[in-house]
Amino acid sequence: MKIDAHYYGILAFCRACGFTKEAAGTIAYASQYVDDAKINHMVLAKKPTDVEPETIDGKPAFFNMATCHSYARLATYNYDSMTGNTCAFHFVPGCDGKSFTRKLRCKENSPIIRPILEKAKEENDLVKLGMVLHAYADTFSHQGFSGLLSKVNSIENLSATTKMPLVPVHVFKKWVMQLQKSKLGDTFDRALHAMAPAYGHGRALSCPDEPHLTWTYHYDYSDNFSSQFKQSKAINPDRFERAFTKIHGHLTDYLEKHPEYKDPGVGLTDLTPLFDTLLGVHTDKKRVKNWQKTMVRLNLLDASDPMLSYDRFRWLKASFSNFSVKAYDKRKVEGAIPAPDFAEGNWYRFYKAVHWYKDHFFRLAEKEGVTIPR
């Protein structure tokens, strides 16, 4: 899923359930930030108050807290990034199949993510809840694909059976699909396989993340990858609706367990306008604008509310007094200066939540028969 679902959809459903603005904003931001938290090593200029960072090369530092990475950089195609970022947060293993690679294939409502979500619902930590909801939502949209570079992801005959908006990115997808079906299909497939690694849903382009799309592809269903292909049909509107119906239930459960986040002046009983907005046939930008309009129209947020616009640096700006995009928009940050109230900030809460999540993820994966070395 993309920002329209991970941030705006979660924000709207939180408010519809009756969360306060602040609580809804924290949950939604944590959900989307999973797609933006690329920093994996931060060297501190000084130790923050009331925090015990790690010591790396004799310097205080935070380490191993990325939840995503740039797929355009070859340096990020390494085992640790694949398992610790992509598998853990975006393609939670379904644990089905005989081989390790098959078990890593993502499955809707994965047996690994369910207990993590239940644990998050028990804890009074909105950042943890938002983070887990991202991974949970992606099990619906990313099912069938693996977060490891693997033949599991080497699909063929990609085809969309519903229309896509006429914008360059969708025209490109249509062009790719048409080439695959043409006389040059085999040649094009070989070239595509040589240029695009079988990683995540890369070979399926962004089809899994388009909420309105119905699409098909062929995958090798054999245990030994002996080129025994069959067709899979993905009806994204059904997947997205199931995901957010479940998410609405989990948010309602959380609010019952933690009534301190309840806003008695807001809530919706009819969720039809939210699902209509979620599943609209629009471009990415148009879907975001529609969410903004829907939330204002339904009195879930005011038109002037700053949380109607997502800023991927918001938590970093609030947590580090020397923040600049140039210095902090990278995999490793040097000389970070924590703000005076750093320990209470959401960035540090996210950092702790990442380690909490990974501990549960690897332990539960092993319990389900998927031992992932780390």
For range 47-61, the mean pLDDT:
94
DSSP 335: E
What's residue 171's pLDDT? 47
How is residue 241 written in tokens? 């609706």
Residue 43's DSSP bridge partners are 61
Q: How far apart, in whole angstroms, are the C-alpha atoms of residue 260 and residue 170?
A: 44
Task: Give the count of beta carbons closer than 10 Å to the beta carbon of residue 335.
Answer: 13
What's residue 161's pLDDT? 81
Q: Which range (195-204, 286-295, 320-329) has the least confidence?
A: 195-204
Q: Are strands 54-56 and 41-44 parallel, antiparallel or unpaired?
A: unpaired
DSSP 35: T
What's residue 346's pLDDT? 98
Looking at per-residue confidence, does 304 or 166 come out higher?
304
What's residue 179's pLDDT? 52
For range 19-48, the mean pLDDT:
97
Q: How far apart, in whole angstroms, are the C-alpha atoms of residue 349 and residue 261?
A: 18
What's residue 350's pLDDT? 98
Check the CA dihedral 237-240-242-248 and report its sign: negative
**In the chain, % of residues over pLDDT 90:** 76
For range 171-176, the mean pLDDT:
51
How is residue 69 written in tokens? 């990475």
The model's pLDDT over 96-125, given as tens digits with 9 standing for 90+, comes to: 988 999 999 999 999 999 999 999 999 999
What's residue 199's pLDDT? 86
Return the exposure string of 73-103: e unless at least 16 CB atoms fall within 10 Å of the residue's CB, then b: eeebeeeebbbbbbbbbbbbbbbebeeebbb
Q: Which residues are within 8 A (CB) of 53 and not within 5 positions of it... i.e. 6 or more apart?
A: 44, 47, 60, 61, 62
Domain ranges of the chain: 3-148+237-367
The H-or-E segment that residue 350 falls in is helix 346-367
The H-or-E segment that residue 288 falls in is helix 284-297
Position 43 pLDDT exceeds 90: yes
The three-class DSSP label of residue 232 is: strand
Q: Of 28, 21, 10, 26, give the one whose Cα is nearest residue 262.
A: 21
The model's pLDDT over 222-242, given as tens digits with 9 standing for 90+, comes to: 777 777 888 999 999 999 999
How is residue 271 written in tokens? 């969720």
176 exposure class (CB count in 10 Å sphere: 0-12, 13-18, 19+): middle
Q: Find out whether 286 and 44 touch, Cβ atoms under 8 Å.
A: no
122 exposure class (CB count in 10 Å sphere: 0-12, 13-18, 19+): exposed
Looking at per-residue confidence, does 139 or 227 come out higher?
139
Residue 232's DSSP bridge partners are 217
Q: How far apart, in whole angstroms, are the C-alpha atoms of residue 354 and residue 56?
A: 19
Looking at per-residue confidence, does 251 or 173 come out higher?
251
How is residue 303 written in tokens? 């038109």
